[in-house]
Structure formats: C-alpha cells, structure tokens
Amino acid sequence: MDEQKYPFKVGLFGIGLDTYWPQFEGLKQRLEGYLATVHKRIDQYGAEVVCAGLVDSPEKAFEAGHSFRQQDVDVIFLHVTTYALSSTVLPVVQRADVPVVVLNLSPESAIDYEWFNSLEDRTKMTGEWLAHCSACPVPEIANVFKRTDIHFHQITGSLDEEDPCWVQVREWIQAARVVHTMSHNRMGCMGHYYNGMLDIYTDLTQQYATFGGHIEHIEVDELTELRSQVPDSEIVERVERFYNAFDVQEECSSKALRESARTSVALDKLVEKYHLGSMVYYYQGSGVPENEDTMATIILGNSLLTANGVPVAGEYEIKNAQAMKIMDSFGAGGSFTEYYAMDHDADVVLMGHDGPGHIKIAENKTKVKPLDTYHGKVGQGLSVEMSVKNGPVTLLSVVEYEGGLQLLVAEGRSVPGPILEIGNTNSRYQFSIGVRDFVEKWNSHGPAHHCAVGVDHIASKIQKLGKLLGIAVVQVC
C-alpha cells in the first residue's frame, strides 16, 4: 500500500453551543483549549489529524462533515466539551460516514466544590459548570445515533494525561489504522489450496466484504521465470543477507544457499511488481523441474518477507494470511502456526509450522537447517527453526462460519523449554485456563487448524478492530 497516496487520517471535532458564548465570557476559548489538548495527544500517537475545530451550530456541522469526507478521514473522534445540541453532531457523522468514537472527557478528575461554591457570581458559577459538563449531552447523542442507525463507541475519562482513558484512545487509533491497512492491502495468492484441507477453503468475496483490499492470483511459473533472470551479483548479496539475518547451520551447502537466495530475490521482485502486502502459496510442484526447484527454495525468502511487513502463509491459507497481516499491522509480528503436540506434564502446548517464520519475533536468531524431506510436500531443501520470544503472546484466527467471518483470539505466554528440533518454527505456550481447557475452548469455535501468533497481549486492540469492522470477536482466555 502506498501510504503517501492513501495516508491514514483521524478526524477530530469538538462540540459546543453558540448560544453560550455571549452569555459566559471565556467559555468558548476554554473549550477550544480542551480540544487543543486532545489534538496534541492524538498527534503523539502518530496519526495525521484533520481537526474541524469547535462545532457549535448546524451550519458548522455540515461544513465539518463535508470537510471530513473530502479529506478522506478513516475514523472520527467526537470530543464532547460541554452541552451541545445533537443537531450539531448528526450532520458531521452522517456526511463523513466513517466509524465514530465519542470522547466523554472531563477537564479534571473532579470539580473543586468548595472553590466552586465560594464564587459569589452565579453567572460565573454556571459558566464554570458548563466547562465541566461534558457528560451531559452524551445520552442525547447516543439516542440520536441509535435512532439513525449509526454505530458508535465511547471513551469516558478525563483530560488528565495519566487517566487510563488515553490507553483506550491510543488503541482505537491503532485499530483504525489496521482497518485502513487491511482495506488497502494487496494479497498475492500463488498456486492452489492444499488438496483436501477443507478447513482452509474460503469465500474470497467474503474476505473482500469484511476487510476490503485486493487479491491477486499469481502463477508459480511467473516466479520461476523471475528466478531464472536473477543475476549472480544479487545472489551473492542475498546469501550475505542470509548470514546476517539467520543462524545458518554448517551443514547447509553453499549450493542450497545460492538457490534459496535466487528465489528470495525473485520473490522480492514479484512482491514489487504486484505491490503485495501479504501472500499465500502452495504448489504440488510435481513434474515440472523448474517449478519444483522454485517451491523447494522458497522458505528463507518468505521468512525475510514476513519479517519485513509482507507476511507469507503456506498451504494457501488465505484466512490465516489475513490474521498474520492484522497481527503484523499491530506491531506484534504474526507467525504461521498450528498445534504440534501437547505436554501435559508441563501444561504447555507446542505450536509451530513448517515453512516461513516471523524472524523478528524469534527468541534467538532463527536457525537455517537442511531437510531431506518436506513433510507432506514435494521436495527437500533449507528450512527455518525458531521459537517465539518468551513472554506474553496473542493468538489470532480468522474464522469463517455460516453468515460471515469472526475473529478468535487468546492470550498466553511463550515459555522456555525443550522444543522439537526438526527445522520448523516451534514454541511452548501456556494459558491461564490450562492447555486442556484452552484447546477445547479454541476448537469449539471451529477455526481452521492454522492461526497467527504474535508477541504481547493485544486482545483489547483486536476487540476494537472487530467493532470497527462490524464482526464478532471471541476471546477464549
């Protein structure tokens, strides 16, 4: 996606009532100061802010709505500064037609009642009250949104920088940015489904309907052709990059490394040609030697792509490439994984996958090992072995069911201990509910056998993402 051509933008406006300004000296300027504080905070969260100022009349509301629409904002934050008529809100949101988050933020955590009640001028007292009554019109706004079928979200708190509401603001912005990323993402689908894996088959139109973006179908032959054109100089450079990025084991032959480098360079060219932000692949590769060579040497290149913002899922797992892209867009990584085994003595489940891994979230430098057999697939060659960083992790699956898509999420921990050293990604995970309950609860929602794993606990962000996308999010732990 071209971020310069289609930048992520946050719309911001405050609301007030123009009738108050001549009645209460300094009130408007004070409320504008509140709005400036919110603007500054959102700026700090890395968003390009389109601020429509303090909207205090229906006329300004229409202007703000047109401005947001013309400037292509992705989400609107409505800062309620004082009582305001719902007629100054509705035209903004209707015209912009993007998700709206209502900021019900008091200027302070509490009013100084003793000081307030010592004021002798009741007009000043009323003006002071109006500077604190942000909660007053929120029910009116909610009522109108409900009756006009506008979905909205709320954050309640104060302008105090230490108030926990600002974590919520930041997470809503992050979730909205991921929606923006997914809506512009171009996924390359190379090859075909793994024959017989019924759980991974998906309705591509449903993927468009939920996430947006574009899906480009690519032939393996095209990658093979690009591979045949890679000059020796680029192969040498890529081998050197392998040694920098991976822990290349001594038993890896120079020929295998060169052939993997050739494919890696070709993959980069393929990604550049189609402007891909994610990719899936699988190809039986039998009977055409050139294509067999291509598919047998693809793992290292796909691991580099995954670590550089282009997550790649094997076995043509489109739903899981979406999950991996979501995780990566949140900055959590997103590595291709499935159940490997259960260790009941340690109460852990081993999870991993063959093929590429997200090397940026590895506990140590990812090892490159030669395999004589790619289990369940044609060929042999170099593969990667890694464990996800020890600490908090989040699992995400895009689940397809009758009626649409939903997100399935779980939080756990990657823990140290022995793994299966078979040249695959492989980690040990613990869950607060224990692995027996985790496995049963996760499976009960009918996910595909693949999922994406990322570092940190980000379920609260994924919950917000689901609300913005209008799909259910189920959290098992």
Which of the four CATH numbers 1.10.10, 3.40.50, 3.20.14, 3.30.70 does domain 185-475 have? Answer: 3.20.14
- What's the pLDDT at 287? 76
- How large a percentage of the chain has pLDDT more than 90? 82
The packing angle between helices 232-245 and 299-307, to 10°, is: 60
Cα dihedral across residues 35, 41, 47, 48: positive or negative: positive
Kindly state the tokens that stand for 365: 């430098």
pLDDT above 90 (res 398): yes
CA distance to 98, 182, 280, 406, per residue, from 72 (Å): 9, 16, 30, 27
pLDDT in tens, 67-125: 999 999 999 999 999 999 999 999 999 999 999 999 999 999 888 888 888 888 889 88
- What are the residue boundaries of the structural domains of the chain, listed by start? 9-181, 185-475
- What's the pLDDT at 376? 62
Q: Do the two domains 9-181 and 185-475 of this chain adopt the same fold?
A: no
Kindly state the tokens that stand for 226: 């690009």
pLDDT in tens, 295-342: 889 999 999 999 999 999 999 999 999 999 999 999 999 999 999 999
The whole-number average pLDDT for the span 177-190 is 97
Q: Higher model confidence: residue 402 or residue 176?
A: 176
The whole-number average pLDDT for the span 385-389 is 93
Assess contact for 203 and 273: CB atoms under 8 A. Answer: no
pLDDT in tens, 5-27: 899 999 999 999 999 999 999 99
pTM of the model: 0.95
Assess contact for 304 and 264: CB atoms under 8 A. Answer: yes
User: According to CATH, what is the number of the domain 9-181?
Assistant: 3.40.50.10940
- What's the pLDDT at 377? 61
pLDDT above 90 (res 154): yes
